[in-house]
Amino acid sequence: MQLANLAGVIQLVLVVVVFGVGVYSLVHAAVQRPDAYTATGKLTKPVWLAILGVSLLLALLMNIFGAVICACAAGIYLVDVRPKLLEIQGKSR
């Protein structure tokens, strides 16, 4: 019984952390200039906002499976798109 409670707590912590990273990604995507997305050759700003927003919604509704989807979407944005946006705009990392 104790292990089941521990697994539930670990799962909850992971979902909360992934949700926080997803919110950070969505906010970062929202404050960037729209022309920077096209200059990097990546998807447009509205598409990234939709991807990140839907993934956050799935993280809320579907618990761990939604959190996995949210982690993938936010991870791709943070690792691939964000550095290119910062490079194009001349901002430091």
pLDDT at 23: 97
Residue-wise pLDDT tens digits, 33-71: 999 999 998 899 999 999 999 999 999 998 889 999 999
pLDDT at 34: 93
pLDDT at 93: 58
Residue-wise pLDDT tens digits, 14-28: 999 999 999 999 999
Q: How far apart are CA 3 and CA 72, in angstroms?
A: 28
**Helix, strand, coil: what percent of the chain each, to 5?**
85, 0, 15
pTM for this model (two decimals): 0.88
pLDDT at 1: 63
Burial 20-53 (b: 16+ CB within 10 A, else e): ebbeebbebbeebeeebbeebebeebeebeebbe
